[in-house]
Amino acid sequence: MCLAIPAIVIELDEPNLAVIEIGGVRKQVSLMLVDDVVVGDYVLVHAGFAIDKVDEAEAQKTMDLLQELARLEQEAGFDEIH
Amino acid sequence: MRYIDEFRVPAAARELLREIDALDAHGTFMEVCGTHTMAISRAGLRPLLAPGIDLISGPGCPVCVTADADIDRAIAVARKPGVILTTFGDMMKVPGTEDSLASASASGARVRVVYSPLESLAIAAEEPGSQVVFLGVGFETTAPAVAGTMLEARRQGIDNLRVLSFHKLVPPALRALVGLDDFDVDGFILPGHVSVIIGSDAYAFLPVEFSMPCVVTGFEVTDILQAILRLLKMGASEASLEVEYARAVRPEGNPRALEVMSQVFESCDAQWRGLFTIPGSGLAIREEFAAMDAGTWEVELPEPTRSKGCRCGEILCGRIKPMDCPFFGGRCTPDNPVGPCMVSSEGTCASYYLYSESDGPDERGEGADIGR
């Protein structure tokens, strides 16, 4: 029940609403629980509300770490073959 | 999809599994959140982990921990003339003492399933002659959305929206759980989206007072594996609170959402199904919003009956696993649930049942071959 999906903000509507897109599907959500959202931000959507913005710098740090882990794994696999 | 696909990197997951294996460490960790339970089962993670690393599920499915008496009250409210009860779909089949909302609906009660509490507001506007009651079930992730809907009703002057608040709070439940004499886990995989709202600081007491290692965790496989790795490295001697899900969780949480939640709700004692009454673990509607509170309505409730033999309570505390319950997979299946852990799509039993192949063989209870 505590699922929340990251979605991009496509359009801001009055009062305090936004159109977001998730995997090609557009939907209107409430921005009542978040401050300072602009078009292009990623928000976490739960039960028709944006519950916070995605911290894109922090996301990038984890994504870089995962890429590094994937590189290590592929190198280890290469060593095993040779 | 951006910020989902990048966290589903099979090679990174394999490397994390290799690093976990290489530590040659043991540990039993509780994933508190039902969404984590489902993610772990769906990915088939349990059998992939090194022997000696056990993941057990906690009381983190709000549907599962809603007390029988609260379900009975919701059904009684739905049966009142002139009422439309709106609810998340997961609540429909949860058995109360005698009935479920689904059976009440079949016998004439007006019950509608909604995705967002805001839909209840739209129904209230379309049906001014009815009282529209939203069944408020959920943790801190959901409670601000319900509070926001109530504030919006007031702003728009819609005066026929009511709420039954059975919301629950996670930190008081964790405090109660770690205080149990037989509670025996080595660390918590803490819920990501509850923490978006309340912030990681809300769990500071766990490492400080109980030497309990904790990692606030996201919902993709690589998130969960990173959390397990961090918990194993930490160990009880260096118990601390870390945030793996930093792309969404701040120490202070979401102040705006917390403010909306506290405008409408105040904490109260709450009964957790299968557990007990936990002080300060529920959310009651504040006096200023009493006119919207359907919890104060007079209704006739059935006499509570003795337990049906279901062991959901022990499963919710992590004392036993679903396959230790004699009903699991036999008398109790998602089509015909005996207890709430099998009803909710994120219930521990439902997720073990649905993904049983990936959780290893011979893990079903007596009579497991019946009805499959």
Terminal-to-terminal C-alpha distance of chain A: 47
| B247 closest CB neighbour out of A8, A33, A62 | A62
Which of A62-76, B121-135, B326-340 is the least confident region? B326-340
Does the pLDDT of residue B358 top 60, yes or no? no
**Chain A residue closest in CA terms to B344:** A1
Residue B372 has pLDDT above 60, yes or no: no
**A58 at the B interface (CB within 8 A)?**
yes
According to DSSP, residue B129 is labeled T
Q: Do residues B88 and B74 lie in contact, with contact meaning Cβ atoms separated by under 8 Å? A: no
CA distance B7 to chain A (A): 7
Query: Could you tell me if B216 and B243 are in contact, meaning their C-beta atoms sit under 8 angstroms apart?
Result: yes
For B234, the token pair is 């930490």
Closest CA to B137 of B101, B102, B166: B166
C-beta atoms of A51 and B193 within 8 A: yes
Give the pLDDT of residue B307: 66
Q: Nearest by CB to A52, which of B118, B145, B248?
A: B248
Query: In the predicted model, what is the mean pLDDT of residues B306-311?
Result: 75
Q: Which domains does chain B have, with CATH numbers?
A: 68-169+253-296 (3.40.50.11740)
Phi, psi angle pair for B248, to nearest 5°: -130, -20
Predicted local confidence at residue B338, as pLDDT? 86
Count Cβ–Cβ pairs < 8 Å, chain A vs chain B: 148
Tell me the β-bridge partners of B113.
Answer: B87
pLDDT at B359 over 80: no
Q: Could you give the 3-state DSSP secondary structure of residue B315? A: helix
**Of residues B3, B12, B63, nearest to A59 (C-beta):** B3
Q: Are B310 and B339 in contact (CB under 8 A)?
A: yes
CA angle B189, B345, A4 (to 5 degrees): 60
Return left, alpha or beta for B277; rule: phi > 0 is left, psi -120 to 50 is alpha, else beta.
beta
Rounded to whole angstroms, the Cα distance separating B38 from B33 reads 9
Task: Decide if A5 touches B, using CB distance below 8 A.
Answer: yes
Q: Which residues of B touch A58 (CB under 8 A)?
A: 246-247
Indicate whether B309 pLDDT > 90: no
A-chain residue closest to B143, CA distance? A47
Q: What is the DSSP letter of B331?
A: T
Helix or strand (DSSP H, E) at B46: helix B45-48
Q: How confident is the model at residue B365 (pLDDT cuts 50, 70, 90)?
A: very low
* Percentage with pLDDT > 90 across chain B: 81
Rounded CA gap, B249 and B241, in Å? 13
Q: Are B20 and B50 in contact (CB under 8 A)?
A: yes
- Nearest chain A residue to B223 by CA distance is A62
- pLDDT tens track for A6-18: 999 999 998 899 9
For every residue of B134-186, DSSP letters joined together read EEE---TTTHHHHHHHHHHHHHHT---EEEEE--B-HHHHHHHHHTSTT---S
Q: Which residues contact B177 (CB under 8 A, 6 or more apart)?
A: B58, B59, B183, B317, B318
- pLDDT band at residue B281 using 50, 70 and 90 as cut-offs: very high
Q: A48–B118: do the CB atoms touch at under 8 Å?
A: yes
Whether residues B152 and A3 touch (CB distance < 8 A) is answered with: no
Which has the closest alpha carbon to A23: B40, B115, B3? Answer: B3
- pLDDT 10s digits, B132-150: 999 999 999 999 999 999 9
What part of B 215-254 touches A (C-beta under 8 Å)?
219, 222, 244, 246-248, 250, 254
Instruction: State the nearest Cα–Cα gap between A17 and chain B, in angstroms.
Output: 12
How is residue B133 annotated by DSSP?
E
- Residue B251 carries which side chain, given as an amino acid letter? P
- Work out the widest C-alpha separation in chain A, in whole angstroms: 62
**B89: closest chain A residue by CA:** A1
Cβ within 8 Å, pair B246-A62: yes
Does residue B285 surpass a pLDDT of 70? yes
Section B37-45 average pLDDT: 93
A1 contacts B88? CB cut-off 8 A: yes
On the question of pLDDT at A76 being above 90, the answer is: no
Chain A from 18 to 47: CB within 8 A of any B CB: 22-23, 30, 32-35, 42, 44, 46-47
For residue B85, the surrounding DSSP H or E stretch is strand B83-87
Residue A57: closest CA among chain B residues belongs to which residue?
A: B247
CA distance B163 to B142: 13
Q: Do B254 and A23 touch (CB under 8 A)?
A: no
CB distance B164 to B74 below 8 Å: yes
CB atoms within 10 A of CB B367: 14
Residue range A64-73: mean pLDDT, rounded? 95
Q: Is B260 in contact with A5 (Cβ distance < 8 A)?
A: no
B152 touches chain A (CB under 8 A): yes
Q: Which of A6, A61, A70 sits opposite B2 (nearest CB)?
A: A6
Which of B:124-143 have CB within 8 Å of A?
137-139, 141-142
Domains of chain A: 5-81 (2.30.30.140)
- Could you tell me the pLDDT band of residue A79, with boundaries at 50, 70 and 90? low
Average pLDDT over residues B270-277: 88
**DSSP code string of chain A:** ----EEEEEEEEETTTEEEEEETTEEEEEE-TT-SS--TT-EEEEETTEEEEE--HHHHHHHHHHHHHHHHHHHHHHHHHH-
* Sequence-separated (6 or more) residues with CB below 8 Å from residue B204: B241
Structure tokens at B37: 């339970």
Which residues of chain B lie closer than 8 angstroms to A70, CB-CB? 9, 11-12, 15
pTM of the model: 0.93
